[in-house]
Structures are given as structure tokens and as C-alpha cells.
Amino acid sequence: MKRGQYIAMTTSLLLIVSTTSNHSAVAGATWRISHLENGQRIFMAGMTAQGRAIQNSHGMEGVGCAMCHGPDGHGGSMHGIPVPNITMRALTDPRGYEHPTGRKRPPYTEESIKVAIVAGIDSGGTSLHPEMPRWTGLTAGDLEDLIGFLKTLGRGSSDPQGGSQGL
């Protein structure tokens, strides 16, 4: 193969790869990431895969769910406020949850989790604590990706009630 043919063939191959892969040919573009990775990025940093900060009712940027709920989603306490366990296993526990106040809430569904994230309403129709940001900047796809990531949290834990469950 002659050098000119090799260069032409290599250039053609690179053009095909760059237009069919998940990488944009535009300078400075980022690799597209999986839905699970997008959900993880939203959870950990409050940013989408495209680097867009998720808008929320508290005006915070660069923080996600993990800031309060922890990187494993098990919650605990922050500034004296109980922070719930938001692993899917805990949220969807068929027993629901009884708050220390005596109020009970039924198990969450994926749809009621989305309502809690965006509107701050729990699975029983009660407003969540005012410190829980309402994440208004999530698209439908972002919410699906975040739910997908929540499903990975707490796998292998034998105690679905572990941590505070106030959500």
C-alpha cells in the first residue's frame, strides 16, 4: 500500500469513527457517558454528564445528593437534622417507614421518588423537610438516570431500615 493510500484510508477511518462513536468531533467536546454514570454524577456532584449544574430550590451548585445522604446513600445526620437512607431497598421497603413522630409513610415507587426529588413530597403526600432541596433542574432523562444510580446503592446490605428513613 502506498503512503498516500494509507493516509487517505486512515483519514477516512478516523472520520467514520468520529461520526459514529460517542465522541463529538467538535473541539473541547466531552465523551458521552452511560446513563448510570450520568446518574452517579448527578448524585455525587449535582452536575449532568454535559457539565450542567442541576438547579435546586437552595441555589446550591456543585453538590449533589451525596452531600447530605452520603456517597452510599445511607444518610445519617447533618447539622442536627436527620438525613434519610435513600437506597432503593430502604425507600421501597414494603413495610414503609414510621417516623419518630409516629407519622407513617408507605413505600416509595420510582414515580413517588421522582416527586420527592423534584417537588419535595413524600410517598404519603407529606412535604419533606424544608432543608431537602427541590431539584427543579432535572430533565426526565436525568431523573431516570438518577433512579438507575439509586438502585445500585446499598446492594448487599441486609438491613433495609439502616440509617434514618425520614424521606
pLDDT at 37: 93
pLDDT at 6: 40
Domain limits of the chain?
1-30, 33-150
pLDDT at 160: 43
pLDDT at 50: 84
From residue 134, alpha-carbon distances to 54, 78, 130 in Å are 10, 17, 9
143 in Cβ contact with 118 (< 8 Å): yes
CB count, 10 Å around CB of 110? 15
Question: What is this structure's pTM?
Answer: 0.73
Between 1.10.260, 2.60.120, 2.40.160, 1.10.760, what CATH number should domain 33-150 receive? Answer: 1.10.760
> All 3 cell numbers of residue 33?
457517558
Q: At 17, is the secondary structure helix, strand, or coil? A: helix
Q: List per-residue pLDDT tens for the chain, 167 residues long.
A: 554 454 444 333 333 333 333 333 334 444 456 899 999 999 999 999 889 999 999 999 989 999 999 999 999 988 888 899 999 999 999 999 887 777 899 999 999 999 999 999 999 999 999 999 999 999 999 999 999 999 999 775 444 444 444 45
Q: Could you tell me which of 45, 60, 29 has the C-alpha nearest to residue 142? A: 45
* C-alpha to C-alpha distance for 27 and 24, rounded to whole angstroms: 8
* C-alpha to C-alpha distance for 73 and 86, rounded to whole angstroms: 5
pLDDT at 1: 54
pLDDT at 21: 35
